[in-house]
Structure 1
């Protein structure tokens, strides 16, 4: 969970949709519900410490009739979310690069074409990096832990220290800005929650390596909870630091690069601004490389179980390091195709971000829903148990996932036209309809039984 760069990515849209009130109070609204989901997932992973994560849990927490279908659907929802995360990370990385360039007056970009070109270059770079082998990922992860920690401290302390003036507490906690075109401020506030939703995802990723972890039933739930608590605290401190340091909110609202404008306002120094943006850029590129690998792993696991078209081709591993090269290449092609509509829209990437948050939260919610419907109190108890609070927290989590998913389908501005439409629901719906079609034509005949037997053996 790279809260530092992820929070800054959603900074611009949330400034327009609620302003300081949306940024501060929105974080406090979203955080408790994320904590409910994290606690519920921690209890499940303690009972089923399996590498398939949400994909496996949906199967094991359902009955024999519905288990394979729920797992199949959840696999597609999770895969959609991961692909959307990769696209968002690559696109915002290109934004950071051009922001650095503009800040230093190297070049000025006024069209979408250069963004798309640089986006493709970054996706290709991340794919090539992962084709080199898994051994490089361990080095990257160690570096990123140190980089994000130091970078967060530098920005959280440095920005308010360099700012010439600071906003009042009243402005930070009560100022409401509506630059969306909607008349209903409540709806505007909800739209502004995207920033918090985007920053607080990714805490399930440890489940993908849980089977290789010592005492996984204990360490895995602890890792999820610590990760989420740390992210919430880091985000809260970052929000306070940022809001008190904003100099000219009108300039931010009119800026095509709000993050660069904010740093330039606060520091009044292009070189320092570029330095802060480089911190964010490296964090974002590291997250991009890891997300590309995670997406390929999930695609490979689904192809192993026959969930994807051309599964036989995608399942093949390459080289001495056994890399899922075919999944990486297929992911590259899909990411390039999906971004092409952004050539005609400046807000298309926000729909991709919404699709990422919606899909990943849905993938979190499906196993919790399965437990509520079929298992309830009959789930095996692991070392970490919520006791009597387990089912209520599951219920709250499922309701939140449903509500938040609907909110994130709202267009970010009004009036709505083809350029400003939020296409997240259409993109997710199209893929899910395909997954259902593929289930009835292929999956239901061969998927489920063998996979469930393997998972049950792994959990014992």
Structure 2
């Protein structure tokens, strides 16, 4: 068909008032309007309010920087060691990664079709049946916000722990910060990340390339390379055999079932691989329907293999798991590096990992602010009219960023328990993965014939891959609700249950009492057929 015929057909469809929105761009449309990204966004119901200054490389860097495998693997080394020793550390990372790839593929397909900052809850609304569209969107949106905010808090809590460890080792034990001081550091970190998240999109995009380079560059100071090199060098003379590194199992949890204890080690990789950020910055990405899905999948693959190599190196370097867990340092990786390269070498490598985590926290705050902005844009948060404002100077959602900062600081109160990191990591993982599974479930059920595929499509594999993804999320959600100890108390209980059930419970009550009467899901602010702004805005929440 000629370009002229295509153009006439498009104009005829518009004049006939067709309500079906085909998000695929024809070649004629691309030639008529060079800015295909904004045209596609208008078809989804939104006007463009951001500058599209994220390239494919910068989108991958953004997603990869948030996951930061060297920081994730180093922070959560104790989870695998406690739940299975060498086996829990090495295979407890890889097994979940295989299932996360199915989730990433399903999310990439949805993002390619519908690249909008609303992301997951927009997907859920469009894939669910008309009767349950608003409810699916509500569940997904609130789950994602809980996960996003607690992920900011968990990352910054870990950075606060890293700072505390560095001061302890650097002072030979003279400086030993308590939980109150660490909570103060946490607030300083989230405030600083709030400032960074208020920058212009152009600056944020360039920063994330630097973040990714710091994580995986081949430079001698590349953090992942440095950690792997240090551990491998130590293992050459003081490490364990290949058989021990890959097959020795030790259950230090107190749970009688070794199989169940091994499942608890999955938290390490699941927390690290919590990311849908490329979807949330898709309205700031050039050629979003292609770049965003590629960024999602590429970042997951890179994180998966990078983290696994780090943990394999650590497994060869660990001679005694019980001794490492008995260290006075709260993070076992700190003691392992101290044993491997001494005080000064440890502090040098530790500083690099700390910087990676700090940058991951900055990127995650940006990501979370986009989620809050998008959900508020559809009037689904208390005070939505404040959180959906875009700053006229930076053209970024500054108010939403500070909403995230305050909420993350409040969540940090969990830090006063001895199971703070596992609770925060568990809460963020559960919240995010529920928000991933809901639109995927809708996609393979009621939405099986609704999706208009984008450039990235699973085709006939969409249903089996989606089924695997949903089944895994159902399983891992149950696992991560359990405490790491078989005899929990107020100090070591898993507070992820409190956070998830508490916040989502309030959201459920709000739905039943009020929201179901007025919340209709994503609210278009342009007419999807002609790109004009809608006259009728939904009432403010």
Say whether the fold is shared (TM-score over 0.5).
yes
CA contact (8 A) 1:134 1:321 kept: yes
Structure 2 residue 29 is the aligned partner of structure 1 residue 29: no
**Residue 217 (structure 1) aligned with residue 289 (structure 2):** yes
Compared with structure 1, are the counterparts of its residues 375 and 130 closer, same or farther at alpha carbon in structure 2 (3 Å cutoff)?
Answer: closer
Report whether the alignment pairs 1:262 with 2:329. Answer: no
Instruction: Provide TM-score, normalisation by structure 1.
Output: 0.93
Counterpart position of 2:86: 20
Tell whether the 8 Å contact from 2:373 to 2:387 is kept in structure 1 after alignment. Answer: yes
Task: Spell out the pairing of 1:212-251 with structure 2 (5 A cutoff).
Answer: 212-251=284-323
Is the helix fraction higher in 1 or 2?
1
Does the 8 Å CA contact 1:247/1:266 hold for their aligned counterparts? no
Whole-Å separation in 2 of the counterparts to 1:91 and 1:175: 31
CA distance in 1, matches of 2:386, 2:259: 49
State the distance in 2 between where 1:243 and 1:449 align. Answer: 47
TM-score, normalising length: structure 2: 0.80
Aligned to 1:333: 406
Q: State the alpha-carbon separation in 2 of the partners of residues 181 and 450 from structure 1.
A: 46
SS at match of 2:348: helix
Q: CA deviation at 1:63?
A: 1.9
User: Which digits, 9 at most, give the CA deviation of each residue in 1:46-70, with x for residues without a partner?
Assistant: 2222232112101111122211221
Deviation at 1:212, TM superposition (A): 4.3
Would the alpha carbon gap of residues 215 and 455 (structure 1) be closer, same or farther in structure 2, given more than 3 Å must change?
Answer: farther
Give the 3 Å change call, closer, same or farther, for CA 377–315 of structure 1 in structure 2.
closer
SS in 2 for 1:234: helix
CA 1:184–1:453 in structure 2 vs 1: closer, same or farther (change >3 Å)? same
State the distance in 2 between where 1:130 and 1:316 align: 14
> 1:355 and 1:278 mapped to 2: Cα distance?
27
- Is the partner of 2:394 in helix, strand or coil? coil
CA contact (8 A) 2:122 2:521 kept: no
The answer to whether 1:200 aligns with 2:268 is no
User: Does the 8 A contact of 2:164 with 2:177 survive in 1?
Assistant: no
Q: State which of 69, 78, 101 in structure 1 corresponds to 2:167.
A: 101
- Equivalent residue, structure 2, for 1:425: 497
1:55 and 2:128 matched:
no
**Partner SS state of residue 167, structure 1:** coil
> What do residues 150-208 of structure 1 show as CA deviations (whole Å, max 9, x unaligned)?
21112112321144412111111121122211111111101111111112221x21112
Check 1:330–1:458 CA distance in 2 against 1; reply closer, same or farther (3 A cut): farther
Q: Deviations over 1:406-440 (max 9, x none)?
A: 00001011211111111212211111121122223
Is the 8 Å Cα contact of residues 125 and 521 (structure 2) preserved in structure 1? Answer: no
| Separation of aligned partners in 2, 1:407 and 1:85 | 18
For 1:309-320, what aligned pairs fall within 5 Å after superposition? Answer: 309-318=382-391, 320=393
Equivalent residue in structure 1 for 2:441, among 331, 356, 369: 369
1:291 aligned onto 2:364: yes
- CA separation of 1:128 and 1:220: change in aligned 2, threshold 3 A: closer
Task: State the partner residue of 2:39.
Answer: none
Distance, in Å, in 2 between the alignment partners of 1:226 and 1:218 is: 12
Change (3 A) 1:153 1:179: same
Indicate conservation of the 8 Å contact 1:61/1:367, yes or no.
yes
Instruction: List aligned pairs for 1:349-388, cutoff 5 A.
Output: 349-388=421-460
Structure 1, residues 220-252: CA drift from partner, whole Å, max 9, x if none?
322222222222221221121111112442221
Alpha-carbon separation, structure 1, partners of 2:163 and 2:312: 26
Q: Map 1:269-308; keep pairs closer than 5 Å.
A: 269-308=342-381
Q: Which residues in structure 2 correspond to 1:126-205 (within 5 Å)?
A: 126-149=193-216, 150-163=222-235, 164-202=237-275, 204-205=276-277
Q: Residue 43 in 1 paired to residue 113 in 2?
A: no
Distance 1:422 1:139 in 2: 38
**Counterpart residue number, 1:78:** 144
Cα pair distance change 1:101/1:458, threshold 3 Å: farther
Alignment: residue pair count: 456
Q: Which protein shows a greater Rg?
A: 2
Once the 2 structures are TM-superposed, how far is the Cα of residue 453 of structure 1 from its aligned partner?
7.9
* Offset, 1:31: 1.5
Q: Which moved more, 1:379-388 or 1:365-374?
A: 379-388
Residues 349 and 450 of structure 1, relative CA distance in 2, 3 Å threshold: closer
Gaps of 5+ in 2: 1-66, 217-221, 532-541
Over residues 46-104 of structure 1, what are the superposed CA-to-partner deviations in whole Å (9 max), with x where a residue is unaligned?
22222321121011111222112211211110000011111111110011111111222
Q: In structure 2, how many angstroms separate the alpha carbons of the residues matched to 1:184 and 1:24? A: 19
User: Would the alpha carbon gap of residues 281 and 72 (structure 1) be closer, same or farther in structure 2, given more than 3 Å must change?
Assistant: same
